[in-house]
Amino acid sequence: MTPIIIQAGSQSYEALVGSRLLEEAGALLSQKFRGRDCAIVSDENVAALFAAPVERSLTNAGFKPTLITIPPGEESKTLGQAEAICHRMSQAGLDRSSFLVALGGGMVGDLAGFAAAIYHRGIPYVQMPTTLLAQVDSSIGGKTAVNTSAGKNMVGAWHHPALVITDLETLSTLPRPEMKQGFAEIIKHAVIQDAEMFEMLQWFDAKDLPSLVRRNIEIKAAIVAADERETKGVRTLLNFGHTIGHAIERAGEYGGVRHGEAISLGMVAACEISIRKAGLAFSDRNRIVTTLHDFGLPTRLPADFPREKVLEAIRVDKKFEHQEVRFIVTPAIGSARLAVDVTMDDLEAAIRDL
């Protein structure tokens, strides 16, 4: 098990990828932390599957874990839930020497990471992603946040984990619709950075999953190392498909469309814009859309979806600066860039065509 090193400014941490790692959590974390008190934050569904072995492993290593569960679903990713987590940690006596374990998918990682960032002005935390989406994307890079009525991830903090423990055996419990969410981000990484991986996806076999997860973590790690806080334009490339995707999520009130599905639709729209603004070949556009479809991801919005709400959400997107549209386009599979000539009219046309 060779660790993947994520360099984030002056800080670095490891991502471990393997099997039966949750059972080794105590031994792994005893090398990282001196404080004994810790919290395990998980949603009710994930906790029922994986909290017990993690608690047992931590206890056997001399830690004193407190399990904090929240309702599953994006609806829990709120300031209120972050406050509730902090309150539970305070009740359990956790202090500045304590740490938090985020056990679950992307919602849990974002919310628990944000709680760790604000509790006692910041305590360490560990990401234990249990979904493919979280393993290849959201557990890496230090972005933590909650949603508000103003938009997705509107309140957050940069707070890198001390360690990422990716146990591939957790994926065996994922229903197929949840596995598909992760492939949306995998396809995105291939489109913006890795044409060779895109070709490999055309012949994907389940036995390739461990190496695929590692490759995607390496891609995300390299981008984070090059531009930790999105100040150089490199990390912005990860937003391919996300501008319109996040607007679709908001229009669906974070319950009607799953994240990966929204990003798939956002990528289809981004490809249409890329044809006009970046010279993307129709053949490449068709290959991207076909690949999304082949992995069971949507490529068209339902006819009755409230497109006007998508347009409203676009207009308040936090990725826009000084009212200028900052949009990621792909000129060819395996590359991407920030476009400065995309207009609101371009976005509206792409949304109406979905």
Looking at this protein, which amino acid is placed at residue 260? Answer: G
- For 4-173, CATH number out of 3.40.190.10, 3.40.50.1970, 3.30.450.20, 1.10.3720.10 equals 3.40.50.1970
- CATH fold of 176-353 reads Dehydroquinate synthase-like, alpha domain (1.20.1090)
Strands 11-18 and 4-8 turn out to be antiparallel
Task: Give catalytic residue positions.
Answer: 121, 143, 185, 220, 230, 235, 239, 242, 246, 259
Residue 147: which H helix or E strand, with range?
strand 143-148
Distance of CA 60 to the CA centre of its chain: 31
* Per-residue confidence in pLDDT tens, the chain, 354 aa: 799 999 998 899 999 999 999 999 999 999 999 999 999 999 999 999 999 999 999 999 999 999 999 999 999 999 999 999 999 999 999 999 999 999 999 999 999 999 999 999 999 999 999 999 999 999 999 999 999 988 889 999 999 999 999 999 999 999 998 999 999 999 999 999 999 999 999 999 999 999 999 999 999 999 999 999 999 989 999 999 999 999 999 898 877 799 999 999 999 999 999 999 999 999 999 999 999 999 999 999 998 999 999 988 887 765 665 567 789 999 999 999 999 899 989 999 999 999
**CA-angle at 139, arms to 335 and 91, nearest 5°:** 155
Buried b (16+ CB within 10 A) or exposed e, 80-92: ebbeebbebbeeb
pTM of the model: 0.94
**Domain residue ranges of the chain, discontinuous segments joined by +:** 4-173, 176-353
